[in-house]
Amino acid sequence: MEWQNELTRLVKTSYPIVQAPMLGVTTPAMVAAISNAGGLGSLPVGGLSPDQTRSLILQTKALTTKPFAVNLFAHQNSPVNTAQADQMLQFLKKLCAQHQINYPKPDLNSIIFHSYEEQIDILLEENIPVVSFTFGILNKEVIHAFKEKGTVLIGTATYLAEATLLEQNGIDCITAQGMEAGGHRGTFLDSKTLPLIGSFSLIPLVAENCQVPVLAAGGIYNGKTIKAAFTLGAKGVQLGSAFISSNESLAIESYKKSIHDAAETDSVLTKTFSGRWARGIQNKFMMEVENSGLAIPDYPIQNALTTPLRVLAQKQNNKDFTTLWAGQSASKAESKPAGEIFQKLIKETESLP
């Protein structure tokens, strides 16, 4: 197994293996563990304030001198439909009361949605070597600023048209997010239906049609799946679920247990938590919101409305009212230090014929 290729040369790592950015799960310690082990850790800062962004970067830098990626949410914010948001808020209050949860009602007027544009100066100042993004494409000025600086850019595509657009805009590497992947779908171009392309079709399709290296995401969890992704044309792989149960994860114990116990059919697509489609283990909250029949406000409005509830549920180790993002192969996740999980992946891959 020859690990060095155009992707490792681009991002300057020993292995073309990326830890997926998982907001609410990934810590600076997880990012540093992967980068120190020779992979590329990814620090998620999507939607965070400039101050939080800088603080997390500095925490990560204190733990590693190796390259790591910072991940942005590259969407444009929709205007808030106040009536719709208020209806959802009333429903969430009632739902919480029914379950003896003390829901701290957010003030709709005080919710601030931070745009990625507020974070760019910090990333440039902090000399972040790799910037990945999802939910859209960075604007031309931002791409230009990163190019001037020599920053490597990685964009997320869920179907070919998105991959082609990213490449045409000078993005250096494309994450091909198969439908098996846990967490939010990166889809950003309009399509008749939500693009849910399996990794088996998506990886070769993007690899055959784009010149830039492809990073395969979705369904990868061991040596065999890493090797198969490379056979299909990927130059690197990105794993998320594999690190959810790691020691460095923020995931609560009941979330880790849900992942461990999950059948492949337990992970479903939902908009209930954030207003964007995401894959996770089905729980009471998803079903209650879906059964309510209410329109779900767009991302990031629904995300803001459910945040206080999720924070509270996490404090109480309550898996019924928080996100349990997980891919279709998530049950393979092990409870170990992230660096050990990473080393095992390398060993398994190298041991294959």
The footprint of a second copy (CB under 8 A) covers: 159-161, 178-180, 191-193, 195-202, 204-205, 218-220, 222, 224-225, 227-229, 231-233, 263-265, 268, 282, 327-329, 352
Pick between residue 181 and residue 313 the one whose CB is nearest to a second copy. 181
Cα dist from 7 to 17, 18, 150, 216, whole Å: 9, 11, 15, 12
- Using alpha carbons, select from 12, 47, 38 the residue that is nearest to residue 302: 47
Pick between residue 231 and residue 316 the one whose CB is nearest to a second copy. 231
Closest approach of a second copy to the CB of residue 86, in Å: 29
Cα dist from 72 to 76, 136, 173, 192, 197, whole Å: 12, 10, 15, 26, 23
Structure tokens at 153: 């850019």
Closest approach of a second copy to the CB of residue 130, in Å: 25
Q: Are 105 and 95 in contact (CB under 8 A)?
A: no
Closest approach of a second copy to the CB of residue 275, in Å: 20
Pick between residue 134 and residue 331 the one whose CB is nearest to a second copy. 331
Pick between residue 257 and residue 332 the one whose CB is nearest to a second copy. 332
Closest approach of a second copy to the CB of residue 208, in Å: 9
Pick between residue 221 and residue 243 the one whose CB is nearest to a second copy. 221
Closest approach of a second copy to the CB of residue 16, in Å: 17
Closest approach of a second copy to the CB of residue 179, in Å: 6
For residue 226, how many other CB atoms are within 10 A of its CB? Answer: 25
Pick between residue 113 and residue 200 the one whose CB is nearest to a second copy. 200
Cα(178)–Cα(155) distance, integer angstroms: 14
Please give the DSSP secondary-structure letter assigned to residue 19. Answer: E
Cβ neighbours for 100, distance < 8 A, ≥ 6 positions apart: none
Please give the backbone phi and psi of residue 154, each rounded to the nearest 5 degrees, phi first. Answer: -125, 120
